[in-house]
Amino acid sequence: MFGFYAAKVASVLILPPLILVWPPLLAWALRKPRLAIRLAVLSLGIFTLISLPVVGGWSLQSLEIAPALDLSKPPKADAIVILGGGRRISSPEYGDDTVNAFTLERLRYAALLYRTTGKPILVTGGAPGGGCTPEGELMSKALNQDFMIPVQWAENQALTTWDNARYSAAILKKADIKRIYLVSHAWHLRRAVPLFEKEGLEVIPAGTAFSSSDSNDMFDWVPSYRAYMETWLALHEWLGILWYKTRASFLE
């Protein structure tokens, strides 16, 4: 749990917006007003750039490692693994924790994949950040109640993508599952797939919510909050990939 929160704090400090705020503030505190102003202008320029839809779309596309599956003739696998994407804690309209929009997108695509292939489903996700109910349990409930899809296995302990891979692999190996469809957002699979492969599983990336970097609309060049969040997600993923590679090199 400590490692989970340490990684969260580090990402807050390294990623926007704080990484754009503290340099000019530091320069000002050191009584270098000209440098502070220049850094503030530079930070504003960078913030504007990363808030452009065309930049947000390109940033997420840089993470996509495989095209969407052709469900008219999908490759063969033994099971479907769905990675949790987060929860809404104490959601008043549901009277409890529930899956968030990211997780719901993954579940919706996994339901389509299940109806196409009929393969058993494993959901994986613990309770990072508090709350009462782990993601795995919430995902299983949503698939059963909202999509009428059965869940074969629910993994409820994972706090990170690395945990997802380790704990899921242990369950799947007991069931003699060797080849899986791995369902997550297309931009998340670059980080997730290698972790599952290191656990000895053969992985077919089953991405959803693919991004677009087309600039056919004039508003693609107008800053927006959504585009900023897309760029932030991409930076967060690349930071996570770097962290996992760094940790792996120390452990080897």
Domain segments of the chain: what residues? 2-62+227-251, 79-208
Indicate the pLDDT class of residue 213, thresholds 50, 70 and 90: low
- Contacting residues for 239 by C-beta, under 8 A, at least 6 apart: 11, 14, 15
The string of pLDDT tens digits covering residues 184-200 is: 999 999 999 999 999 99
Nearest CA-CA partner of 41 in 27, 52, 53, 31: 27
> For the domain bounded by 79-208, which CATH number is listed?
3.40.50.620
Residue type, 79: A
What CA–CA distance (Å, rounded) separates 141 from 158? 17
Nearest CA-CA partner of 104 in 89, 122, 119, 85: 85
Q: Which residues of 67-82 are buried (b: 16+ CB within 10 A; e: fewer)?
A: eebeeeeeeebbbbbb
Structure tokens at 86: 């987060």
Residue 163 contacts residue 156 (beta carbons within 8 Å) = no
Q: What is the mean pLDDT of the chain?
A: 93
Q: Please give the pLDDT value at position 149.
A: 98
Q: Please give the pLDDT value at position 9.
A: 80
Q: Please give the pLDDT value at position 131.
A: 77
Q: Please give the pLDDT value at position 192.
A: 98
**Beta strand 96-99 pairing with 121-124:** unpaired
Specify the 3-state DSSP secondary structure of 80: strand
Residue 153 contacts residue 173 (beta carbons within 8 Å) = no
Phi, psi of 131 (to 5 degrees): 90, 170
What percent of the chain has a predicted confidence (pLDDT) above 70? 94
Tell me the pTM: 0.93
Q: Please give the pLDDT value at position 215.
A: 64
Q: Please give the pLDDT value at position 196.
A: 98
* Residue 53 CB burial class (10 angstroms; 0-12, 13-18, ≥19): buried
Structure tokens at 16: 């926007």
